[in-house]
Structure 1
Amino acid sequence: MSVWVTLEMTVRQGQYAKLELFLEEKLPAVRSFNGALSVSVFFDQASNRLLILEEWKSRQHHQSYFQSITENGVMPQLLSFMVAPPAVQYYDRVII
């Protein structure tokens, strides 16, 4: 069973165009990371809110990825576009 991860954040005013380029460059590495199943990005211009929706094989796979991007400097780069760190939530996929 997979786990869905949401990352919700507010983009700094005027930074979305730069963030979009950053994400275009970095998302292929996310999608190819061990355990990643899918990554989608949603943006609301009215509120400058960004939602990243990811599906992973397990919470451990995502946490390994999160540790990796913290150590290699990608997370600090992402945070530079944000008002505050992302709110991260985990949801287990439920088959009903």
Structure 2
Amino acid sequence: MSVWVTLEMTVREQQYAKLEPFLEEKLPAVRSYDGALSVSIFFDQTSNQLLILEEWKSRQHHQSYIQSITENGVMQQLLSFMTTPPEVQYYDRVMI
């Protein structure tokens, strides 16, 4: 079974215009990372809330990716657009 991961965060005022090209540049690397199955981005302009919805083969695959982008500085770049670090939630897919 796969795991779904949500990352919710608030984008700093007037920063989405700079964040969008950053995401366009970085998302191909996320999508091609070992264990990544899908990544979708949602943005609410009214509240500046950003939701990243990801599907991974396992929680370990996602955590390996997070460790990688923490070590290479991409996480810090992403956080520079945000008011706080993301709230991360893991959900196991349930087949009902």
TM-score, normalization by structure 1: 1.00
Cα deviation digits, residues 14-70 of structure 1 (max 9, x gap): 000100000000000000000000000000000000000000000000000000000
Matches within 5 A, 1:1-96: 1-96=1-96
Provide the aligned length of Structure 1 versus Structure 2.
96
Report the RMSD for the aligned CA atoms in angstroms: 0.2
Cα deviation digits, residues 56-89 of structure 1 (max 9, x gap): 0000000000000000000000000000000000
In 2, Cα distance between equivalents of 1:17 and 1:29: 21
Q: Tell me by how many angstroms 1:94 deviates.
A: 0.3
- Paired residue type of 1:78: L
In 1, Cα distance between equivalents of 2:66 and 2:15: 23
TM-score, normalization by structure 2: 1.00
Q: Percent identity?
A: 85
SS in 2 for 1:29: helix
In 1, Cα distance between equivalents of 2:86 and 2:77: 13
| Poorly superposed stretches of 4+, deviation over 3 Å | none
In 1, Cα distance between equivalents of 2:28 and 2:16: 19
- Paired residue type of 2:67: Q
